[in-house]
Amino acid sequence: MFSFATYETHFLFNGKFYDQVDGVAMGSRLAPILANLFLGFHEEAWPNYFNKGDILLYRRYVDDTFCVFKNISIESAV
């Protein structure tokens, strides 16, 4: 069902029909759900790439994120 809902989606633009070949069409009812699933899955793993003390602020709304990290000099990271 997932493949059926996401592959070969057709849409109309300027009077012409097009096939969506990658991703989910903007405005699709499925798009916000898939964005939440994708980011929800990955935001569990992303903090493992950073020292948790380096993340000062992390906020997300659907597929938009805002992150503030501590300033780390190149010398201290090497």
pLDDT in tens, 43-69: 887 767 766 667 888 888 877 888 888
pTM value? 0.55
The helix or strand, by DSSP H or E, that contains position 38, with its residue range, turns out to be helix 31-45
How crowded is residue 20: how many other Cβ atoms within 10 Å of its Cβ? 15
Predicted local confidence at residue 72, as pLDDT:
62
Measure Cα distances from 7 to 14, 22, 25, 36 in Å: 22, 8, 10, 19
Q: Where are the domains of the chain?
A: 2-77
